[in-house]
Amino acid sequence: MPLYNDEAITLRHYDFGEADRIVSFFGRRHGKVRVVAKGARKLKSRFAGRLEPFHKVAIVYFGRENANLYKLSNVDFRRTRAAMSDELERFHRACYVTELMEAALREGDPNPKAFLAANATLELIARETRTAELDWITRFFDVRFLSHIGYTPTLDRCVACRGGLPETGQLAFDAAKGGIVCPACRPKFKSAVALSAGAAKFMAKMLTTEFGKAVRLKPSPQILREITSAIIAFRNSRIQVKMNSERFFGSDV
């Protein structure tokens, strides 16, 4: 039976049978996988304490190719993020990030860019305690992650008429259509949310800025509110899952 090695982020686990656990990992090379960790709930298990979410780990697992459940052979820490659970605001954002990955990623579909975005985001969250910064990091992750899984919003022209956008003033974002609508097209899109030209430009910048520089790009509270409404509407239109973790932190939508 093939043996797989990967570097992975632990997403979640749940109990299975008498003493086992099923764990879901997002691997850099092989994408999301589900594995059964035999005996993981026994006191002396070799997996004990190593299957909690948010950590970066090295995993070895085996099973038939394209199986929907593999067997975990080994797990070692690469980067522990135990402090994530010490602080509630931070913990809820980390839960949100892993919950979104769990909901949106298909099993066995490698996506190294999404992996790097997720890992960089968890790293930033692990070092942060300020609410506004945590909100900003989470929204930055949303835009990048959605784009890496194939949902990139149209921000540089009107998504309806394809015309250019005014440099200033009020525009709108239509989640179902997937981008900005110009003032002329706006009346045709009743569900579009308001988005200023400044917030639209800022969102476009989020698509191209490296994670290392995200903290410096920090938006004003007004722009963060506007892009939050647009991003969450866009996410909900593409991923039909109720995000449980979201009710624990302040969002303006």
The total number of residues shown for the chain amounts to 253
Stretch that binds Zn ion, among 60-68, 151-159, 167-175, 240-248 (CB under 5 A): 151-159
Stretch that binds Zn ion, among 2-10, 59-67, 176-184, 203-211 (CB under 5 A): 176-184
Please name the amino acid found at residue 206.
Answer: M
CA distance 90 to 230: 23
**Count of residues binding Zn ion (CB under 5 A)?**
5
Q: Residue 171 CB, nearest distance to Zn ion (Å)?
A: 10
**Do residues 32 and 105 lie in contact, with contact meaning Cβ atoms separated by under 8 Å?**
yes
Strands 70-79 and 31-37: parallel
CA distance 85 to 227: 27
Q: Residue 185 CB, nearest distance to Zn ion (Å)?
A: 3
Name the one residue in this structure whose structure tokens are 């009710």: 247
**Residue 14: exposure state from Cβ atoms within 10 A (0-12, 13-18, ≥19):** exposed
Nearer to Zn ion, 53 or 153 (CB): 153
Nearer to Zn ion, 100 or 182 (CB): 182
Stretch that binds Zn ion, among 30-38, 42-50, 177-185, 231-239 (CB under 5 A): 177-185
Residues 182 to 211 in contact with Zn ion, rule: CB under 5 A: 182, 185
Q: Residue 210 CB, nearest distance to Zn ion (Å)?
A: 31
Residue 193 Cα to chain centre, angstroms: 22
Nearer to Zn ion, 187 or 250 (CB): 187
Nearer to Zn ion, 197 or 215 (CB): 197
**Do residues 239 and 100 lie in contact, with contact meaning Cβ atoms separated by under 8 Å?**
yes
Closest by alpha carbon to 216, among 205, 228, 227?
A: 205
Stretch that binds Zn ion, among 25-33, 38-46, 128-136, 174-182 (CB under 5 A): 174-182
Residues 154 to 173 in contact with Zn ion, rule: CB under 5 A: 158, 160-161
Q: Residue 177 CB, nearest distance to Zn ion (Å)?
A: 10
CA distance 10 to 159: 37
Q: Residue 204 CB, nearest distance to Zn ion (Å)?
A: 17
Please give the structure tokens belonging to residue 139: 């929204």
Q: Residue 223 CB, nearest distance to Zn ion (Å)?
A: 22
Kindly list the residues in this chain that would bind Zn ion in the complex (CB under 5 A): 158, 160-161, 182, 185
